[in-house]
């Protein structure tokens, strides 16, 4: 039971959602945060305005793929798919070592771009669309060796996130993601409102020379990136997943299995996945594979130079994914992750 939070939600239903930023609830939240030593003030809440953003789009050989622009890591997901569009072969096994190796190596290059460039777009020195140009993607894909794993540094870590997707009878599709970041966000429950306060500010650095320095009015980098694709054959795919660094990696696996190899959404999500980097409570940055991959895949990836760790079967370390595929004839296929408590439903 969370009576304070329930009362807060009822208050918002009566007063309107703007009360969160410019009303009684805003004043309540700011009082609690001030008592906790937070630098957030009522003026910060009152000055906030949501922005409508034009999504990034990738011109893919099989359609157009959309994702969110900076300060999200949507660019990362599109960079991975752009490279895979140039590297995946029709006869490649979606459960084989060459497929996993190609996805992982594309991820490394995309993460390098993220760590060097992505921040509040008002402060970025490059245009994200330039990185998605065909020539730029050709060059990035050309750097991948199919016979040797590239060196790998460190990832950014976990998230406490949920993805939701919906498509209606008219074909209107929504890909939605929400997060308070880290396990239970900041771990702070506000006394008056009962709100479990988020922790997105941890993406800032106290180093003024860092890529994402803590600065008044600046938006933090974050990992959220719900995905949507309009395929050249007339189908629509809404897909996404939670999991910090794992979001673009699982998106690459699921998109490729559905779009390149023709799997249905549930099979694509259910199949074994991997995670390069760290996640909840972990400190190592190995390439982690679910145990359902064959022993041959583990051995072949080790021989390619990957530092491998074996996960449990259906391990939620690799995140919780979902997808809805709308066919041209109106038929819908959906998949939900057995690694989570989500569901796919139609009505």
Question: What distance in Å separates the CA atoms of residue 76 and residue 81, rounded to the nearest whole number?
Answer: 9
Annotated catalytic residue, options 161, 236, 279, 317:
161
Q: What is the DSSP string of 58-101?
A: EEETTEEEEEPPTTSSHHHHHHHHHHHHHH--TT--TTSHHHHH
Q: What letter does residue 200 receive in the DSSP assignment?
A: G
* C-alpha closest to that of 314 among 280, 269, 281: 269
Residues with Cβ < 8 Å from 84, sequence gap 6 or more?
Answer: 102, 103, 106, 252, 256, 260
Q: What angle separates helix 74-87 from helix 97-117, to the nearest 10 degrees?
A: 140
Which of helix, strand or coil describes residue 32? helix
Before 71, cis peptide (omega within 30)? yes
Q: Which two tokens stand for residue 292?
A: 């359902």
Locate 228 and state its tokens.
Answer: 């949507």
Is-catalytic flag, 161? yes
d(CA 35, CA 191): 10
Instruction: Evaluate whether 161 touches 242 at the Cβ level (below 8 Å).
Output: yes
Nearest alpha-carbon partner for 161 in 342, 35, 285: 342
Q: Which of 172, 104, 175, 128 is nearest to 322 (CA)?
A: 175
Q: How far apart are CA 320 and CA 337, in angstroms?
A: 6
Active-site positions read 161
């Amino acid at each position: 039971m969370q009576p304070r939070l329930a009362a807060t939600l009822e208050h918002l239903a009566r007063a309107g959602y703007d009360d969160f930023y410019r009303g009684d609830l805003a004043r309540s939240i700011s009082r609690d945060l001030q008592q906790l030593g937070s630098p957030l003030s009522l003026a910060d809440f009152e000055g906030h305005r949501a922005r409508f953003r034009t999504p990034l789009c990738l011109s893919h050989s099989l359609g157009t793929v959309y994702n969110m622009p900076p300060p999200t890591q949507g660019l990362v997901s599109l960079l991975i798919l752009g490279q895979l569009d140039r590297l995946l072969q029709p006869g490649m096994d979606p459960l084989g070592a060459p497929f996993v190796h190609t996805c992982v190596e594309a991820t490394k290059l995309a993460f390098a771009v993220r760590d060097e460039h992505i921040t509040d777009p008002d402060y970025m020195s490059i245009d994200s669309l330039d990185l998605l140009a065909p020539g730029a993607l050709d060059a990035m894909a050309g750097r991948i060796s199919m016979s040797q794993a590239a060196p790998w540094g460190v990832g950014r870590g976990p998230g406490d996130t949920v993805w939701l997707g919906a498509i209606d009878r008219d074909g209107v599709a929504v890909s939605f993601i929400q997060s308070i970041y880290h396990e239970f966000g900041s771990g702070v429950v506000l006394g008056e409102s009962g709100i479990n306060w988020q922790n997105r500010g941890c993406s800032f650095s106290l180093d003024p020379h860092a890529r994402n320095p803590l600065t008044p009015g600046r938006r933090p980098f974050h990992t959220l990136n719900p995905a949507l694709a309009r395929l050249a054959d007339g189908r629509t795919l809404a897909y996404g997943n939670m999991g910090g660094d794992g979001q673009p990696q699982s998106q690459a696996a699921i998109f490729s299995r559905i779009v390149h190899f023709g799997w249905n959404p549930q099979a694509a999500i259910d199949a074994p996945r991997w995670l390069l980097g760290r996640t909840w409570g972990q400190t190592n940055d190995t390439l982690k594979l679910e145990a359902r991959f064959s022993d041959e895949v583990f051995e072949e990836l080790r021989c390619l130079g990957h530092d491998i760790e074996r996960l449990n079967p259906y391990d939620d370390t690799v995140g919780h994914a979902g997808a809805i595929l709308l066919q041209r004839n109106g038929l819908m296929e959906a998949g939900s992750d057995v690694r989570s408590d989500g569901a796919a439903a139609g009505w």
